[in-house]
Amino acid sequence: MNFDILTLFPGMFSGPFDESIIKRAKDKQLIDISLHNIRDWAVDRHQTADDAPYGGGAGMVMKAAPLAACIESVKAQHPTSTIVLTSPHGRRLTHTVALELAEKSGLIIVCGRYEGIDERIRSIYAEDDISLGDFVLSGGEIAAMAIIDSVTRLIPGVLGSSESAESDSFGDGLLEYPHYTRPPEFKGFVVPEALLSGHHEQIRKWRRKESLRKTRSLRPDLLSKAVLTREDRKMLAEIEHEETHGV
């Protein structure tokens, strides 16, 4: 899968894609990440890529012409890739959105900066618009990193046999169950007996129940959307009883 990042600050990406899962995916040629400095498409000697907003006000706006030229150049190289803007106007990045994006042949991610981009870029070129949430970042670069990381781990062959995207939080609509490793006791806290039992069905039930417990406690909104089995509903009733009676 091809990821093309259009940015005013390509130096921000030095390092994040050279470690761990992303690096392995690149080494296995499962993904390709290319950086494109938008200023390279500016026509003046100062490589100006921003200007004051019409109508006045604070801040600067990314100019349409150099960004359009950059988009068109990259799109010509990867005509089937989807053009994605990073901005507060977009739909929120969720696991479901990441799954959808992972089905694309490639993504051309435009990193916004300053007060934003000239709106005509969105009108002419944007095929998708992604936000990380209701907070402000200095630019879209961090959002681009998050999009690429969340999508890459869903590409077949990226995760090894000891890793799984299916069991991650949100993979089935719930938060993931707690994890433990050696030693079995640490500062008075012990690993739950079920995980030490070696009994696969007991472990499965414990993990499912704790996944439901954590979701109910921290993200109850997810339960209303999750597809719950009869066993899940029984476990939730047990959890409610335990919490009510202090078990």
> What's the pLDDT at 242?
95
> What's the pLDDT at 173?
87
> What's the pLDDT at 161?
57
Specify the domain boundaries for CATH 3.40.1280.10 within the chain. 2-152
> What's the pLDDT at 185?
95
Rounded CA-CA distance 237/212 in Å is 11
Specify the domain boundaries for CATH 1.10.1270.20 within the chain. 185-245
Asked if residue 39 lies in contact with residue 66, where contact means CB atoms within 8 angstroms, the answer is yes
CB pairs under 8 A, 24+ apart, for 52-60? 53/115, 57/115, 58/115, 59/114, 59/115, 60/114, 60/115
For the domain made up of 2-152, give the CATH fold.
Alpha/beta knot (3.40.1280)
Average pLDDT, the chain: 94
**Residue 159 pLDDT > 60:** yes
> What's the pLDDT at 76?
98
**Residue 121 pLDDT > 80:** yes
**Residue 162 pLDDT > 80:** no
CB pairs under 8 A, 24+ apart, for 216-221? 218/175, 219/175
Q: Which residue's entry shows tokens 């993990």?
A: 207
Asked if residue 129 lies in contact with residue 90, where contact means CB atoms within 8 angstroms, the answer is yes
* 10-56 tens-digit pLDDT: 999 989 999 999 999 999 999 999 999 999 999 999 999 999 999 99
> What's the pLDDT at 241?
95
Rounded CA-CA distance 196/209 in Å is 16
* 87-107 tens-digit pLDDT: 988 999 999 999 999 999 999
Instruction: Specify the CATH architecture of the domain 185-245.
Output: Orthogonal Bundle (1.10)
More confident residue, 87 or 169: 87
> Catalytic residues, which ones?
88, 115, 153, 168
Query: Has this prediction a pTM greater than 0.85?
Result: yes
Q: Which residues contact 77 (CB under 8 A, 6 or more apart)?
A: 4
> What's the pLDDT at 160?
78
- 24 sits in which H/E element: helix 20-27
Mean pLDDT, residues 135-153 taken together: 96
Please tell me whether residue 236 adopts helix, strand or coil conformation: helix
* 188-217 tens-digit pLDDT: 999 999 999 999 999 999 999 999 999 999
> What's the pLDDT at 167?
55
* 54-68 tens-digit pLDDT: 999 989 999 999 999
Rounded CA-CA distance 156/173 in Å is 20
What are the φ and ψ backbone dihedral angles of 133, each rounded to 5 degrees?
Answer: 155, -175
> What's the pLDDT at 54?
95
Q: For residue 68, how many other CB atoms are within 10 A of its CB? A: 17
**Residue 143 pLDDT > 70:** yes
